[in-house]
Chain A
Amino acid sequence: GAGVSQSPSNKVTEKGKDVELRCDPISGHTALYWYRQSLGQGLEFLIYFQGNSAPDKSGLPSDRFSAERTGGSVSTLTIQRTQQEDSAVYLCASSLDLTPAAGYTFGSGTRLTVV
C-alpha cells in the first residue's frame, strides 16, 4: 500500500488477556520499528527489524512483550497478560533502510486500553 497500515486502530482488553497488534509496512521498506506513546509522553522505542538481521529488542519493557516479522514484511507485536500500564498508542514505522535520510513513515497507530 501507499502508507504504513496498522490494525486494529483501537483495542480495549481486560487485564490479563493477550493482544496482538499488526503492522503492514510500506512495500520495499526493509526496516520496521515499533514505538509506543503513553498519554502526554514522548515516543518510546520498543523493537526494530532490519532485513534478515537479528532484531534489536533492547526497548521491550518486559518479557511479556514480543514481536515477529514474517517474510520481511508484516510484523506482529504481542503483549501477553496485559497490565493497565500497557495502555498506550502503539506506533509502527518503516524506512527504506536503517539510515533514515528521509526519516521514518509512521502508521496511524493502535490505541490500546487495558481495563
Chain B
Amino acid sequence: RKEVEQDPGPFNVPEGATVAFNCTYSNSASQSFFWYRQDCRKEPKLLMSVYSSGNEDGRFTAQLNRASQYISLLIRDSKLSDSATYLCVGYGGATNKLIFGTGTLLAVQP
C-alpha cells in the first residue's frame, strides 16, 4: 500500500464548478501535510499547507482529518487556469522527507 494515496482522476469539470479532491495516508506518525500543484511538464509548486483546523486561501480550502487519516482540497468557482495535477503530500514520522501521492488530474472545461 502506498503511503499517500489519491484518486488519479481525471476530473473534468465546467468552469465555475466546485470540485473536491481526497487523499488518504497510511503513516499515522506523519506530522505535516501539503497540497502541491504541478502543471504539465513543469515542476511541482506548493499550493498550500493543510492544518487540522482547516485553512482557506481564496477559492481553495484544505482540511485534515487525523482520526480518519484523510486530507481534502476543495476548489470553488473553478477557472480554466486551475487545470493541473494536484499532489497530496505528507511529511514526518520516521522520515525527514516529503512523500508524494501520484496526483489527481483536474481539467476545467470552458
Contact = CB atoms under 8 A, between A and B. Distances in A.
What is the size category of the interface that chain A forms with chain B?
Answer: 20 to 34
Interface string A38-54: 00011101001010000
Contact of B32 (A35, A45, A101): A101
Contacts of A105: 46
B43 A33 contact: no
B45 interface: yes
B44 A56 contact: no
Contacts of A108: 42-43
B87 interface: yes
A39 to B, nearest CB: 11
Contact of B98 (A50, A104, A107): A104
Contacts of A67: none
